[in-house]
Amino acid sequence: MSRFQAPIAEAIWDMKYRFKAADGTALDGTVEDTWRRIARALAEVEAEPAKWEAEFYAALEGFRFLPAGRITAGAGTGRSVTLFNCFVMGTIPDTMEGIFTGLKEAALTMQQGGGIGYDFSTIRPRGAEVKGVAADASGPLSFMDVWDAMCRTIMSAGSRRGAMMATMRCDHPDIEAFIEAKKDPARLRMFNLSVLVTDPFMAAVKADGPWELVFGDKVYRTVQARDLWNRIMRSTFDFAEPGVIFIDRINATNNLGYVETIAATNPCGEQPLPPYGACLLGSINLATLVTDAFEAGSSMDMAALDHLVRVAVRAMDNVVDASRFPLPEQAAEAKAKRRIGLGVTGLADALLMVGLRYGSEEAAQVTEMWMHKIARSAYLASVDLAKEKGAFPLFDAEGYLASGNMAGMDADVREAVRAHGIRNALLTSVAPTGTISLYAGNVSSGIEPVFAYAYTRKVLQKDGSRTEEEVVDYAVRLWREKFGDAPLPDHFVNAQTLPPLDHVRMQAAAQRWVDSSISKTINCPVDISFDDFKEVYMAAWDQGCKGCTTYRPNDVTGSVLTVSEATDKAPGEAPDQVRGAVSSGEVVYLSHPLDRPAALEGQTYKVKWPGSEHALYITINDIVTAGHRRPFEVFINSKNMEHFAWTVALTRMISAVFRRGGDISFVVEELKAVFDPRGGAWMEGKYIPSILAAIGGVIERHLIDIGFIDGEGMGLKSDPKAELMRVGEAPRGKSCPACGSYDLRMVEGCLTCGSCGHSKCG
């Protein structure tokens, strides 16, 4: 029997995590083969690999321990990809050479699949003097635009596009421009933005005091702290960004405060990291560890939790040695501190299964108890590893134990660390698990509440037909198996109906025992007042959170997953009738890249670049899906051997994009924007900035000819998936760029597709 409880889970495994050869041939025959591949790869560094392969396999089996996607997809494949999810790049020097060296390092990191964070506070503000060139500085936002363009161009490992976090200190002179940058809907789309909020700033906000904007030793101007805070809040209220990071609290509690200063996080915020910092992620699936679900004696199996955490810590520690790194600085940083980020998923489902309402005081207390157990087990497991393999190289007992986090740790854990050291400097983090949670049977993701108990999606098959299937939350499926169509209990709540301050309560409860941070989105109703919205952030500050991210649907950000409001039935009714829990939209999902038919129609174009001895020949073949002709593959050929490597790479990359479906017109935009520093050329009366731009022009002309786009520079005309919008139906916001469904939801700070798991944060 299949280990997968739903077709969507198997489809995600096949698309994202199943090991395949370059030609698409599956090398992992079953998900058991995937678990075996991972277990074997992580056990190779052990003195007793057979023993630990068996232990790691047992932890992976049944989706109990869920390594993050980079590990699941990459471990044991022999491919040159990083198994680390999170990177913060080096401090950006305030020089042109340093800035563009940083850009190069970012490109290399994203090329291998890592999401990155950057602090742009180190770049002088707009209008500041640039000595020696008689010019004024353009400011950090102008360079963020360059990073944004680079990220749009890079397609990272596993066909995931890059994700970036940009931070800026609340006292930087350009902070107001940073706060409002995303008012422009076309700007900085590849970035998540967060303001680094300091303790003195929050004190000034509460006191309604003045606040100086400073760079270097120069005060550029003084504003009222509360006015600046209100600007942050207003932008977040209207545009869902920027987020807020309480940076002084992060540094005060950091176990490594004695050897590092943190100024940025990874794209989803759960990993505050120093320059060149890297962290790998994994999650304990709490929903799989509840015994006697929905019964009077239901509980978390604490012994099983302890054992699973200990095995997971060892497996993740081994990833540090098994992984490749994009940059040597990242490898050195990871091995000097051996950071890991073990978190949880399925929390909301587990609470439902033991009879607790997510967001209640009792649920918060139980969450804190579970997270405390995980922290104890993780730290003691890492101490045992230190006894066996040695502490992390930069360990210093007095400095380590003096941190705010360790000051609050249990006395026996502190004494064990003092006596034996610890293998991993930091151990816990709560990551986004949107895709992983679907793969594991649609458990609730991370520490988020259940988003929707059930919804219907339509799947586009290879032959063009569609099948309809219901996607059911893990806990609801268990309820149905036990009690049939009996009404759901009253404690079943979802993200749409949960008061925002209940979200904050749960985030604060989990944060108490997490040494890094938490990726969490606080869903706010569209009609929340601005004053109540601001109170959410102040409550997060007052309750000890390390940051705060909210999502309020509005006309600017667009709606996310549409849920039915057609029924007046209460939460106690049958699961497929829960108010606000059933998707009303028809969702189409490409479960596989399209197979190549035996014959395709196409066109070959000749491009003769001025000054080049040989011409390029560009062949574009098309396929017909749902009655529409669209490009399927590209071949670029030349007799010039100097062109061989990059034309083959471009051929493979563009063809892979075409076969995934969705809006592929961005390929034209990106190619046409490439310029050659040696200069372009005039062709047919137009200046073309590079040979790549000329290729982009050819593809655009072809798209116009087949009716895929309206005209030059006009983007997508008609995608087959546009038919999903029913006649007369109101727009439902943005469609998923990977599968075309209107099933995007905000999950832990990132828009994530509920159908295919696509997220710009990877």
pLDDT in tens, 307-322: 999 999 999 999 999 9
Structure tokens at 670: 């990106």
Structural domain includes residue 661:
yes
Number of domains the chain is built from: 1
What range does the domain containing 610 cover?
601-722
Is residue 78 a part of any domain in this protein? Answer: no
Percent composition of the chain: helix, strand, coil (DSSP 3-state, to 5): 40, 20, 40
CA distance 20 to 247: 42
At 171-187, the pLDDT tens digits run 999 999 999 998 887 78
Identify the pLDDT of residue 370.
98
The Cα-based distances of 346 to 61, 74, 218, 603 in angstroms read 16, 24, 49, 50
Q: Where are the beta strands (DSSP E) in 396-552?
A: 454-460, 466-472, 522-523, 547-548, 550-551
Instruction: Please give the C-alpha separations between residue 431 and each of 270, 410, 472, in angstroms, as whole numbers.
Output: 6, 24, 22
Select the more confidently predicted residue: 679 or 56. Answer: 56
229-242 pLDDT, tens digit each: 999 999 999 988 99
pLDDT computed for residue 554 by the predictor: 64
Phi, psi for 476 (deg, rounded to 5): -65, -40
Q: Is the pLDDT reported for residue 66 higher than 50?
A: yes
For the cut 70, the answer to whether the pLDDT of residue 412 exceeds it is yes
Q: Mind listing the pLDDT tens digit for each residue in 499-535?
A: 999 999 999 999 999 999 999 999 898 889 999 999 9
Q: Using pLDDT thresholds of 50, 70 and 90, give the confidence band for residue 611.
A: confident
For residue 458, the cross-strand partners are 468, 588
Phi, psi of 390 (to 5 degrees): 105, 150
pLDDT band at 460 (very low <50, low <70, confident <90, very high): low
pLDDT given for residue 591 in this prediction: 42
Which residues carry out catalysis?
A: 266, 268, 270
- Looking at the predicted structure, is the pLDDT value of residue 666 above 70? yes
DSSP letter at 93?
P
Q: Is the pLDDT of residue 386 over 90?
A: yes
For residue 263, how many C-alpha atoms fall within 13 Å in the half-sphere facing its CB? 16
What's the mean pLDDT in 590-597? 56
Q: Is the pLDDT of residue 748 over 80?
A: no
Task: Report the pLDDT value the prediction gives residue 362, as an integer from 0 to 100.
Answer: 98
Residue 673 lies in a domain: yes
Q: Is the pTM for the entire model greater than 0.85? A: no
**Least confident piece of the model among 369-378, 384-393, 464-473, 515-524:** 464-473
164, pLDDT greater than 50: yes
673-715 pLDDT, tens digit each: 787 767 778 887 777 888 888 999 999 889 888 888 877 766 5
pLDDT of residue 79: 87
Which pLDDT score is estimated for 1?
A: 53
Q: What is the residue type of 313?
A: V
Convert the pLDDT of each residue in 551-592 to its tens digit.
Answer: 887 665 544 444 433 333 333 333 332 322 333 333 333 444
What the block records as the tokens of 69 is: 């996607």
**How, if at all, do strands 278-285 and 340-345 pair?**
parallel
Q: Is the pLDDT of residue 739 over 80?
A: no
Which structure tokens are listed for 532? 């109540």
Distance CA(754)–CA(747), nearest Å, equals 10
Task: Convert the pLDDT of each residue in 630-663 to its tens digit.
Answer: 888 898 888 777 777 888 888 888 888 887 666 6
Spell out the residues 6+ positions from residue 150 whose beta carbon is closer than 8 angstroms to its own: 103, 106, 107
In a domain, 639, yes or no: yes
User: Does residue 458 sit in helix, strand or coil?
Assistant: strand
405 in a structural domain: no
CA dist., res. 498 & res. 364, Å (int): 14
Q: Which residues, listed in sequence order, are joined to residue 129 by a DSSP beta bridge?
A: 136
**Amino acid 433: pLDDT:** 87
Burial code (b: 16+ CB inside 10 Å, e: under 16) for 687-712 equals ebbbbbbbbbbbbbebbbebebbeee
Whether residue 595 has pLDDT greater than 70: no
How many residues are given for the chain?
762
Q: Is the pLDDT of residue 761 over 60?
A: no
Segment holding 750, helix H or strand E: strand 750-753
387-407 confidence digits (pLDDT tens) = 999 999 999 999 999 999 999
Dmax over CA atoms of the chain, in Å, equals 81
Lowest mean pLDDT among 6-10, 536-540, 564-568: 564-568
Host H or E run for residue 202: helix 199-207
Mean local confidence (pLDDT), 418-427 = 98
Among residues of the chain, what percentage have pLDDT more than 70?
83
Give first-to-last CA distance, the chain, whole Å: 30
Q: How far is CA 295 from CA 290, 442, 478, 733, in A?
A: 11, 22, 12, 41
Identify the CA nearest to 497 among candidates 444, 450, 440, 559.
450
Percent of the residues in the chain that have a pLDDT greater than 90, as a whole number: 56
pLDDT given at position 53? 98
Of 335 and 707, the one with more pLDDT: 335
DSSP 427-444: -B-B---HHHHHHTTSPP
pLDDT at 569: 34
Least confident of 246-255, 270-279, 554-563: 554-563
Q: 732 or 96, which is more confident?
A: 96
**pLDDT at 434 (0 to 100):** 83
For residues 244 and 1, the model is more confident at 244
Give the Cα separation of 554 and 560 in Å (integer).
10
Quote the pLDDT of residue 495: 83
Confidence of residue 162 (pLDDT cuts 50, 70, 90): low
- Residue 682 has a pLDDT of 81
pLDDT tens digit string along 321-331? 999 998 999 99
Q: Is the pLDDT of residue 303 over 60?
A: yes
In a domain, 47, yes or no: no
Is residue 313 a part of any domain in this protein? no
- 173 within a domain of the structure (yes/no): no
Contact 136, 125 (CB under 8 A): no
- The average pLDDT across 90-110 equals 90
CB 636 within 8 A of CB 649: no
Check residue 720 and give its pLDDT.
Answer: 34
Mean pLDDT to the nearest integer, 11-32: 92
Give the pLDDT of residue 652.
84
What's the pLDDT at 714? 61
Residue 125: is its pLDDT beyond 90? yes
What are the start-end ranges of the E strands in 170-298? 191-197, 210-215, 218-224, 243-246, 264-265, 272-273, 278-285, 290-291
**Residue 458, pLDDT score:** 64
Mean pLDDT in the chain?
Answer: 85
Q: What is the pLDDT of residue 758?
A: 64
